[in-house]
Amino acid sequence: MYIGGLMGCKGDAYTGAGALNIEEAHDFHHWQAQLFKLAKADFLYAGIMPVLAEAMGMARAMSDTGIPYIISFTIQKDGKLIDGHTIDYAIRFIDDNVSRKPVCYMTNCVHPAILRSALSQPENRTEAVRARFCGIQANAACLSLQELDNSCALKTSDAKELAEEFRLLHRDFPLKIYGGCCGTDDSHIREMIKVLQ
């Protein structure tokens, strides 16, 4: 069992509102990263990062700890973060500007079909994405972030339908980390395991 320290953006993870610039993000997230170091976390995880600048500053704060870390982006169907940067550019920018690179990059709170579309975009069919983008914690609803934002009811899907989308994603982009996020429960995870085995 590994114990991870979960960190997130200061502003809105679905819209990017209130995001920090690189320097602000390093200063803001540094204290929490250092507390996770004192607590002897095995790894750090930046979840649903919508804006590259804040992800970059957080990556530097995580890198400072010497603890392995993962950056997970908020990704749209067009293959871009909320701020318009491609997955490829975001990966290369962070890798080139930290002293210790993330273990890998991934996404969470997005449906596998949306990620498959994002990774299929020509600008993301690169060596950097193939080598460094490794996982998804999937939202069970195949809806855009705008459709999900401020929803008053849980949005989910049938476990077998979601598992089939995991199978298609794995067929086209064999990632290493698969899991569930919003709208998933044990039935979704069991079906996912069946198709991935």
Q: Can you give the pLDDT of all 197 residues of the chain as single tens digits?
A: 999 999 999 999 999 999 999 999 999 999 999 999 999 999 999 999 999 999 999 999 999 999 999 999 999 999 999 999 999 999 999 999 999 999 999 999 999 999 999 999 999 999 999 999 999 999 988 877 777 777 777 777 899 999 999 999 999 999 999 999 988 999 999 999 999 98
- Pick left, alpha or beta for residue 40 (phi over 0 → left; psi -120 to 50 → alpha; otherwise beta): left
Q: Which residue type, as a one-letter code, is found at position 32?
A: Q
Main-chain phi, psi angles of 56, to 5 degrees: -65, -50
Alpha carbon distance 81, 77 (integer Å): 9
Terminal-to-terminal C-alpha distance of the chain = 21
